[in-house]
Copies of this chain bind each other. A is one copy, B any other.
Amino acid sequence: MQCKRVLLTENDIPTAWYNLQADLPEPVPPPLHPATHEPVGPELLTRIFARALIEQEVSRERWIEIPSEVRRLYAIWRPTPLVRAYDLEKALGTPARIYFKDESHSPPGSHKPNTALPQAYYNKQEGILRLSTETGAGQWGSSLAFVCSLLGMQCKVYMVKVSYNHKPYRRSMMQLWGAQVTPSPSDETEAGRQILAADPNCPGSLGIAISEAVEVAMHRDDTNYTLGSVLNHVMLHQSIIGLEAERQFEMIGDWPDVVFGCVGGGSNFAGLVFPLLRHKIAGKRETRFVACEPHSCPSMSRGQYRYDYGDTTKLTPLVKMHTLGHGFVPPGIHAGGLRYHGMAPMVSLAAKLGLVESAAFHQTECFQAARLFAATEGIIPAPETSHAVRGAVAEALRCRETGEEKCILFNLSGHGLCDLGSYDRYLSGDLEDYSYPQEKIEESLAELPQID
C-alpha cells in the first residue's frame, strides 16, 4: 500500500508562484473607480497597497519568483502533506481514491498565511511597518497577526464587534501575536463614528470593518491595507498549494479527475486549482474543478457575472465578478463561514469560461460530511472547509453507484479547533438549512450599477 501522507521536503518548496493570468484565454477585466467607473490606475492603489503587490495584481507573467526570505518562513508550515483518506474511502465503500491537501498545519490553522506572509514581506521591503485589515471570525486577522509577529511589524485588526465579543479565542490569538485588535464599528475612524452615531449598539459587519481598515491605510502614511482573498495577487500567492500538490501527484503516479475546494472569496480554491487548471487549458489533462459554496450564500451558482463593489459601503473599486450584490447579507442561522457576497474576479472569469464549475450545499449536509471525515481521518475540518469535504464525499458516493475508480482531491483549507461552537450547534440539532429566496437575490442585484 502506498504511504498515507505524501511528503515533500523544505527544498521542494516552489521557487515561483504560478499566475493563471498568463494562461487565461482572455484578460481579467480591470477594476473600475467607484465614482467615475473608469479603470483604476495604480496611483490610487499605491496609497494603500505595496507597489510590488500592485504589480503582481496586474501581471501576466506566468511565474513570479518567491523571495528567499518568504520561502524560509514558509518552511514553518510548508510543504504541507498530500494525504490519502483510506479510512474515509472504506467507510464510504467507494472504489474512488480520495486525497486531500492538508493546509491546516499552519500555526493559525488555515491556508491564509500563504498570502499573509508575502503581503507583509513586500510591505516591509517598501518601508511600511504597519498593516491594517478587517476580520470576521478571525481566520484572516490571526494569519496577518502571525506573520507580522514573525517579521517584526505592527498589525491593526478591525474585528466585527459581534465576533470580538463572542469569539474570544481568535481575538486572544491575535493579541498573543502582538496585534492591536479593535471591535468594529469603532470611534477611531470617520466610517466607524458615522455608524455609531446612527446606531450605538451596531454589532458590526465585514463591510464596515473593511471601511475602517481602508480608511486608516488611506490616512496614515505608515500604514498599508491588506486583504485576505478576492484579489489577483492573493490567488497568485495561494498557488503554492496546487504547485506542491502537482509535484506530490507526480511522485505517486496519480492525478485527480475531480477537485473540490470551498469558496468564500475564492482563495483556497484558486490556490489548489489554478496550477492544475493550466494543464487542462493546455489540453493535457481532463480534470473537473468544483467550487463548493453554501446554499445560503450562492454567489457562483445563483449570482451574476457583473461589475460590483467589493464592500457594502461602496468604497472599494468595482470589480467584475460573480456576485449576489454588495447589499447581500447571508442569514444569521448560517454557521459555516463563506459569507462574502462576491467572488474573486479570476475565479469568476474561469467559471464564465467554463474552466471551473460550482455546486451549492446545505450546512447540515456539510457538517455531516465533516463529522464522518473527523471520525475516520481524525482531523476536524473548519466549517468553511466542510463544504469541500461534502463535495468530495458526494462524488465518492456517486462512484460507489457507478463503480468508477475516480481520483478525487479536495483542499482541507483549515481545521475547526477554534470553531467547535458551530459543531456543537450541529450536534444539538440547532442548525437549520436555508436557501436564499430568488426574489431577494434579484432585489439585491437590482442595486448594482449598470456597467456591462
Contacts and interface: CB of A to CB of B under 8 A. Distances in A.
Contact of A146 (B106, B371, B378): B378
Contact of A5 (B75, B109, B150, B418): B75
Interface in A400-452: 417-418, 420-421, 423-424, 427
Contacts of A380: 107, 173, 176
B176 A421 contact: no
Given A172-B424, A173-B417, 7 more contacts: A4-B72, A7-B9, A76-B378, A76-B379, A107-B379, A149-B378, A169-B420
Interface of A: 3-5, 7, 9-11, 72, 75-77, 87, 105-107, 109, 146, 149-150, 168-169, 172-173, 175-178, 371, 374-380, 417-418, 420-421, 423-424, 427
Nearest to A428: B175
Contacts of A169: 169, 417, 420-421
A327 B1 CA distance: 52
Contacts of A417: 109, 169, 173, 417-418
A177 to B, nearest CB: 6
Contact of A427 (B175, B421, B424): B175
B378 A77 contact: yes
Contacts of A105: 105
B418 A378 contact: no
A224 to B, nearest CB: 21
Nearest to A76: B378
A176 B374 contact: yes
A79 to B, nearest CB: 9
Contacts of A87: 150
Nearest to A170: B420
A172 B106 CA distance: 22
Given A172-B421, A417-B418, A150 B378 contact: yes
Contacts of A146: 378
Contacts of A11: 3
Nearest to A84: B75
A3 B9 CA distance: 9
Contacts of A149: 374-376, 378
Contacts of A168: 420-421, 424
Nearest to A375: B149
A419 to B, nearest CB: 9
B10 A75 contact: no
Contacts of A77: 378
A427 B374 contact: no
Nearest to A172: B420
A38 to B, nearest CB: 43
A421 B244 CA distance: 36
Nearest to A370: B176
A420 B138 CA distance: 14
A1 to B, nearest CB: 8
Q: Which 9 A-B pairs have the closest CB atoms?
A: A107-B378, A172-B420, A4-B75, A3-B10, A149-B375, A169-B420, A172-B424, A76-B378, A417-B417
